[in-house]
C-alpha cells in the first residue's frame, strides 16, 4: 500500500477526491444531455439558426454583455444567413418579416409577454407584466390618464416646460455657447412626466447642465442584459445597502439613485403627504390609487414603485431620442429646415406671439410636413430596440413553419424601420416619404409599417403624450429659432448599442447646436 509523505494512505484520500470528481462527471453528463435534448428533441429543434444559440443562452450573453448590446445586430446578420425565422436562444424564435408583425402583436389580445419582467427589477409594472389578464386590468387603470382628453387637460403644463426650453435657448444664444440637445430633451420630457405622474417636477430643464434621469436610463439597459442572464442580480442589488453596491459597481449609482427617489416619493404619498403642487387637474399616481379596476394588492408600495419607474422611464428617453433625431436632421438638412420653417411661419405669422402656448396644438397638427418630420423621427428612433417577446397559447403558422404553442416569439422594430423594400434608403431621414398617403409597392399604406409605438393591446400607452410633446417642441423650436450644429456627427443619432432602448456609441458627446432667434 502506497503511503504518502503526510502519513495518509492513498485509499484514505479517494473518497474526498472521488466526491468532486463524481459531481463533475454528473454535471458534465447533465450538460451533455441538456445540449443533446435542445439540439435534437426540443420542440424548436427543427428551426434554423446557429447551433450554439440553440444549445445555450451564453451565446446571447456574449453579444449582449461582453460586446454590450450587439445581439440585435447579430440577429439581423443571422437572418441573412438562415432566413426569416431563426432560433435565437434555446427557447426563443425571432422573425424578420414586417408583414407578420400584426400576427405576433395585434391579432390576439391574450398573449403572454415573458422576459421583460426580469430586466429592470420592476416586474409589477404594466409594461413588464407577463400575464395577459393581469396586464389588461393594470392598463385599464392607466388608460384614462393617457387619453387625448386628459393630455389636453394637462397641456398648459407641457406649454410651460416648452417655454422654459425656449428661455434656455435664449440663454445659449446670449452666451454664444452650443446647447446640448441630447441632454436638454430628456430634462424636458423628465420634467413633464414627473409633473404628470406625481404633480411636481425636479426642475431638470432649469439645471445648468440639464442633469436628468438620462444617465440612469442609459445604465438601465446594460444592467438589463445582465439581469436577463442572471435574474438574481437585481434582487441581490436591492437586498444589500445601496451604498455598498455603489462602491462595488459605481456605474449602477444613477440607476439606484433613481430607484431610491421613486421609492421615497411613493412612500411619502402613501403616508398621505401631498406632493401635488402644480395646477394639473389630476396625476397618474392618484388615478392609480383611485382606480376601481385595481385590487388593494395592486396599490402597494412595491407595485407603485414598479409602475412609477416604468412609466417615468417610458416617458423620458423614447420621446427625447425622437426629438434629438428630428432636430439633428432638420438642422443638418437646409431643405428640410426651410420647408418646415416656412410652413410654421405661414401658420403662425406673428413672430412676437410664438411662445409655446401661442402655438396651438390643433393648428400644428394641420401641418403635413411637421407631421411627416415627426413620423420619420419615430421611425428612426424605434421606440425600443429590444426584441419584443410574446408567447401565444396556440400554435402559430408562419409561411411553411408551424410554431408550437407556448413558444416565445420576438420581432424587432429596427429591422422593420430598415426594411429597404418598404423604406428605400432607410438610413436617411426623408420626411417626404410620409407625404400624400403613401403606399408600399404592393399597395399597403406605409403607416402600417411605422411600428415604433408597438401594436395591439400592449402598444405604447403614452402615444398621445409623445405626439403632443413632439408637435409642440419642434413647432416652437423651428418657428422661433435657427440653429447651427457644432461638430455634427450622424452617429450622435444612430444606435450603437441595443440597451433595450437604442443608445448611441458610448463616447458620443451628443447633438450640440448654436442657437439664433429667427428674424421672420
Ligand atoms: C416617441 C415616443 C415613444 C415611443 C416610440 C414609445 C414606444 C413604446 C413601445 C414600442 C412600447 C412597447 C409596446 C409593446 O410591448 O409592444 C411602449 C410601451 C409603453 N409606453 Fe411608450 N413610447 C413613447 C413614449 C411614451 C411616453 C411619453 C409614455 C408616457 C409615460 C410612454 C409610456 C408607455 C407605457 C406605459 C408602455 C407600456 C404599455 C403596456 O404594456 O400596456 N411611452 N412604448
CATH number at residue 485: 1.10.630.10
Comparing 72 with 354, which gets the higher pLDDT?
Answer: 72
ipTM value > 0.95: yes
Q: How far is the CA of 194 from the centre of ligand 1 (A)?
A: 16
Which whole number is the average pLDDT over 305-311? Answer: 94
Question: Distance (Å, rounded) from C-alpha 82 to C-alpha 47?
Answer: 10
Residue 47: inside a domain, yes or no?
no
What's the confidence (pLDDT) of residue 123? 93
Q: How far is CA 160 from CA 138, 181, 195, 335, in A?
A: 30, 18, 11, 30
What's the confidence (pLDDT) of residue 514? 98
What's the confidence (pLDDT) of residue 241? 81
Give the CA dihedral 278, 282, 285, 290, nearest 10 degrees.
150
Q: How far is the CA of 183 from the centre of ligand 1 (A)?
A: 20
Question: Distance (Å, rounded) from C-alpha 144 to C-alpha 162?
Answer: 24
Residue 2: inside a domain, yes or no?
no
pLDDT digits (tens, 9 = 90+) for 75-123: 999 999 999 999 999 999 999 999 999 999 999 889 999 999 988 889 9
Residue 220's pLDDT band (boundaries 50, 70, 90)? Answer: confident
Residue 29: inside a domain, yes or no?
no
pLDDT digits (tens, 9 = 90+) for 365-393: 999 999 999 999 999 999 999 999 999 99
Q: How far is the CA of 372 from the centre of ligand 1 (A)?
A: 20
Residue 168: inside a domain, yes or no?
yes
Residue 12: inside a domain, yes or no?
no
Which whole number is the average pLDDT over 485-493? Answer: 98
pLDDT digits (tens, 9 = 90+) for 279-293: 898 999 999 999 999
Residue 275 pLDDT more than 70?
A: yes
Question: Distance (Å, rounded) from C-alpha 109 to C-alpha 354?
Answer: 44
Residue 20's pLDDT band (boundaries 50, 70, 90)? Answer: confident
Question: Distance (Å, rounded) from C-alpha 414 to C-alpha 498?
Answer: 10
What's the confidence (pLDDT) of residue 3? 45
Residue 13's pLDDT band (boundaries 50, 70, 90)? Answer: low
Residue range of the domain that includes 194: 91-517
Which whole number is the average pLDDT over 399-403? Answer: 98
Q: How far is the CA of 311 from the centre of ligand 1 (A)?
A: 8
Residue 230: inside a domain, yes or no?
yes
Beta carbons of 258 and 213 less than 8 angstroms apart: yes
Mutate which of 104, 107, 188, 318 to test ligand 1's pocket (most atoms within 8 Å of Cβ)? 318
Which of helix, strand or coil describes residue 401?
strand
Residue 21 pLDDT more than 60?
A: yes
Residue 302 pLDDT more than 60?
A: yes
pLDDT digits (tens, 9 = 90+) for 113-156: 999 998 888 999 999 999 999 999 999 999 999 999 999 999 99
Which whole number is the average pLDDT over 23-44? Answer: 95
**Ligand 1 surroundings by CB, under 6 angstroms:** 105, 126-127, 139, 193, 311, 314-315, 318-319, 322, 378, 383-384, 388, 452-454, 458-462, 465-466
Residue 179: inside a domain, yes or no?
yes
Is 460 assigned to a binding site? yes
List b or e across 21-56, with b for residues whose CB sees 16 or more CB atoms inside 10 angstroms: eeeeeeeeeeeeeebeebeeebebeebbbeeebbbb
Read off the C-alpha cell for 102.
400584426
Residue 351: inside a domain, yes or no?
yes
**How many domains in the chain?**
1
If you take atom 40 of ligand 1, which residue's CA is the nearest one? 127
Atom of ligand 1 nearest to the CA of 197: 30
What's the confidence (pLDDT) of residue 2? 45
Amino acid at each position: 500500500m502506497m503511503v504518502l509523505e503526510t502519513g495518509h494512505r492513498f485509499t484514505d484520500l479517494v473518497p474526498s477526491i472521488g466526491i468532486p470528481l463524481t459531481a463533475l462527471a454528473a454535471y458534465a453528463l447533465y450538460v451533455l444531455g441538456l445540449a443533446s435534448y435542445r439540439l435534437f428533441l426540443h420542440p424548436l429543434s427543427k428551426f434554423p439558426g446557429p447551433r450554439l444559440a440553440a444549445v445555450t443562452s451564453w451565446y446571447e450573453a456574449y453579444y449582449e454583455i461582453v460586446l454590450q448590446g450587439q445581439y440585435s445586430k447579430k440577429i439581423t446578420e443571422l437572418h441573412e444567413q438562415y432566413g426569416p425565422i431563426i432560433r435565437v436562444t434555446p427557447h426563443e424564435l425571432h422573425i424578420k418579416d414586417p408583414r407578420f408583425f400584426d400576427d405576433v402583436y395585434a391579432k390576439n389580445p391574450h398573449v403572454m409577454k415573458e422576459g421583460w419582467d426580469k430586466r429592470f427589477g420592476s416586474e409589477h409594472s404594466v409594461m413588464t407584466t407577463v400575464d395577459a389578464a393581469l396586464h389588461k386590468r393594470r392598463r385599464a387603470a392607466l388608460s384614462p390618464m393617457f387619453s387625448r382628453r386628459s393630455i389636453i387637460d394637462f397641456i398648459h403644463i407641457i406649454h410651460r416646460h416648452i417655454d422654459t426650453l425656449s428661455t434656455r435657448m435664449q440663454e445659449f444664444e446670449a452666451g454664444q455657447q452650443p446647447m446640448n440637445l441630447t441632454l436638454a430633451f430628456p430634462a424636458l420630457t423628465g420634467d413633464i412626466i414627473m409633473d404628470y405622474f406625481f404633480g411636481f417636477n425636479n426642475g431638470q430643464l432649469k439645471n445648468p447642465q440639464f442633469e436628468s434621469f438620462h444617465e440612469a436610463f442609459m445604465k438601465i439597459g446594460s444592467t438589463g442584459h445582465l439581469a436577463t442572464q442572471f435574474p438574481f442580480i437585481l434582487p441581490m442589488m436591492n437586498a444589500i445597502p445601496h451604498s455598498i453596491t455603489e462602491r462595488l459597481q459605481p456605474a449602477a449609482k444613477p440607476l439606484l439613485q433613481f430607484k431610491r427617489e421613486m421609492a421615497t416619493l411613493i412612500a411619502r404619498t402613501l403616508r398621505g403627504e401631498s406632493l401635488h403642487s402644480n395646477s394639473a387637474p389630476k396625476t397618474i399616481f392618484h388615478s392609480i390609487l383611485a382606480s376601481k379596476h385595481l385590487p388593494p394588492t395592486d396599490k402597494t408600495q412595491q407595485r407603485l414603485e414598479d409602475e412609477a419607474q416604468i412609466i417615468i422611464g417610458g416617458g423620458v428617453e423614447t420621446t427625447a431620442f425622437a426629438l434629438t433625431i428630428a432636430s439633428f436632421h432638420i438642422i443638418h438638412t437646409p431643405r428640410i429646415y426651410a420647408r418646415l420653417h416656412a410652413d410654421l411661419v405661414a401658420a403662425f405669422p406673428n413672430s412676437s406671439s410664438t411662445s409655446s402656448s401661442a402655438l396651438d396644438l390643433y393648428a400644428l397638427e394641420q401641418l403635413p410636413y411637421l407631421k411627416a418630420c415627426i413620423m420619420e423621427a419615430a421611425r428612426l428612433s424605434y421606440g425600443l430596440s429590444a426584441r419584443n417577446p410574446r408567447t401565444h397559447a396556440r400554435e402559430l403558422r408562419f409561411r411553411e413553419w408551424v410554431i408550437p404553442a407556448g413558444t416565445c416569439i420576438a420581432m424587432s422594430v429596427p429591422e422593420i424601420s430598415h426594411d429597404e423594400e418598404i423604406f428605400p434608403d432607410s438610413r436617411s431621414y426623408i420626411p417626404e416619404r410620409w407625404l400624400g398617403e403613401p403606399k408600399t409597392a404592393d399597395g399597403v399604406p406605409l403607416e402600417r409599417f411605422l411600428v415604433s409605438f408597438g401594436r395591439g393591446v400592449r402598444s405604447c400607452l403614452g402615444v398621445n403624450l409623445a405626439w403632443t410633446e413632439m408637435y409642440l417642441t419642434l413647432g416652437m423650436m423651428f418657428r422661433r429659432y435657427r440653429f447651427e450644429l457644432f461638430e455634427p456627427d450622424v452617429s450622435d443619432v444612430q444606435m450603437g448599442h441595443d440597451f433595450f432602448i437604442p443608445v448611441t456609441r458610448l463616447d458620443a458627446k451628443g447633438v450640440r447646436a448654436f442657437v439664433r432667434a429667427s428674424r421672420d
